[in-house]
Amino acid sequence: MSDLKRKQTIVLIKCCILVACSIGLIDNCIGIFYTPVSEALGAGRGRVAAIATIISISQAFGGQAVARIIKKVPINLVMCAGTVMTSAGLFLFSFLPRLEHFYVIAVIIGLGDICYKNMTISIVLRSWFGEKTASRLGIAMAFSGLAAAVMSPILGTIISSSGYRAGFRLLALLIAVLSIPAAYTCRTRDDSAALRGSGSKAEGKDAVRTVIPAGSMAVMLLIPAFVAGIIGMNTHFSSYAVTLGYSLSFGATVVSFQSIFNSVWKLVFGVIADRIGAARTCMVYLVMIVFSCVILMTMTQSPAAILAGVSIFPAVFSIPTIGIPTIVQNMAKERYGEVYATANMITTLGYAAFTSLYGTISDRAGVYIPCLLIVAVCAVLCAAVCYAAGRQKKA
């Protein structure tokens, strides 16, 4: 193995660790704490779930600040600071006596978490792997689902035996031990200054003067909006199964299938995108989403069909985690940070809005069919925008 290949492999491993700790342990595992925290503090689960909402909102707006900071501060220091903030915040969670205190610390965790997630990870990988980044990004992002699949039962056992405070301390320890060293040593290559917009002063001035065509900007911002309309349905599939008359245990099986195929589709997306391009791969995946909706709306009496439909649906998560970063890098490389931060904010806030919308619609209609129709429409419109993205020139 050449020295470059060895360094690339080490960087990829570090990125996998960071994704596992940020998305896998924070975003995907926080829901495990809702019930135990609710029972311990005497608060409703809805109020406790607001912790995750605050973390997401903090990430959405914090991304804008991170995009500016990485122009002036080495990216590994930004990521390392984020891991420290996240670990410290989770450790503090284990001591807080009131739910209001959780809300304040959740802001800190969100700001820390966004420092070593999609945007910074994709910048690091792009600097080491160049145009063929999608497959490596797919490998890294797949670890989010794997980490959640491994840690969810472990956390459940620890919380049951020792309480939620022990669970938070375990998460804090894992992130400190795994992600802090990985983040501090995860540097971009010397020739990557332009990728993150933090090179010499001359490069910085040129980056400021770079103007992204209005059509390209519209494409990059519409895709996240339509994607939000699709992924907003994801958390409802367990309830969707119950509304069809299936048992709660079958609903839990649905969630398991979603978690497994979330990782599978990300791996496949990266491989395909490096061959035919991210925009075209997004179009293929969006057609799959429409097919998934058709199955879920028409084959409701077949458990196997339901499982097939919900197994296809997680393909959509490859678009915001791999597709959008790759498209933005191709179209607005010198302003990647700020453009992607805006795209991520739209996806995050839109996801929260559509999740609530689908809950309201299903409550009033008693079924999820109208929600799936909206998802299918968003997928078709997003595919059209992705087609336009494939025809746009790079900025």
321 contacts 137 by C-beta, under 8 angstroms: yes
Cβ atoms < 10 Å from Cβ of 287: 14
Residue extents of the structural domains in the chain: 3-187, 209-391
Task: Residue 148: name the closest of 322, 316, 231, 32 by CA.
Answer: 32
Instruction: Assign 61 to helix, strand or coil.
Output: helix
Q: What is the DSSP letter of 74?
A: -
Instruction: Assign 83 to helix, strand or coil.
Output: helix
Whether the CA torsion 133, 134, 136, 141 is positive or negative: it is positive
> Which residues, 6 or more positions from 102, have their beta carbon under 8 angstroms from its beta carbon?
37, 48, 51, 93, 96
pTM here is 0.79
Tell me how far apart the alpha carbons of residues 232 and 324 are, in angstroms, rounded to a whole number: 17
Instruction: Name the amino acid, one letter, at 102.
Output: F
Residue 12: its H or E element = helix 3-19
Q: What is the pLDDT along the chain (395 residues), one digit of tens a residue?
A: 678 889 999 999 999 999 999 988 888 788 778 778 888 888 876 788 788 888 888 988 898 899 889 989 999 999 999 999 999 999 999 999 888 999 999 999 999 999 998 889 988 998 898 877 888 888 998 888 788 778 878 888 898 899 999 999 999 999 999 999 999 999 888 644 444 444 434 344 444 445 667 667 777 789 999 999 999 888 788 778 888 888 867 877 787 788 788 889 999 998 899 889 889 999 999 999 999 999 999 998 899 999 999 999 999 999 998 998 888 887 777 777 788 888 888 998 888 888 878 888 888 888 889 999 999 999 999 999 998 887 765 54
Q: What is the DSSP letter of 321?
A: I
CATH number of the 3-187 domain = 1.20.1250.20
Q: Using one digit for the tens of pLDDT, what is the confidence trace for 186-212?
A: 988 864 444 444 443 434 444 444 566
**Would you state the structure tokens that stand for residue 365, as one six-digit string?**
């209609």
CA separation, residue 144 to residues 23, 59, 83, 229 (Å): 5, 17, 16, 22
The structure tokens 């610390």 sit at 105
The structure tokens 């995050």 sit at 348
Query: Is the fold of 3-187 the same as that of 209-391?
Result: yes
Task: Residue 281: name the closest of 315, 323, 220 by CA.
Answer: 323
**Would you state the structure tokens that stand for residue 287, as one six-digit string?**
């057609």
Residue 4: its H or E element = helix 3-19
Average pLDDT of the residues of the chain: 85
Class of the domain covering 209-391: mainly alpha
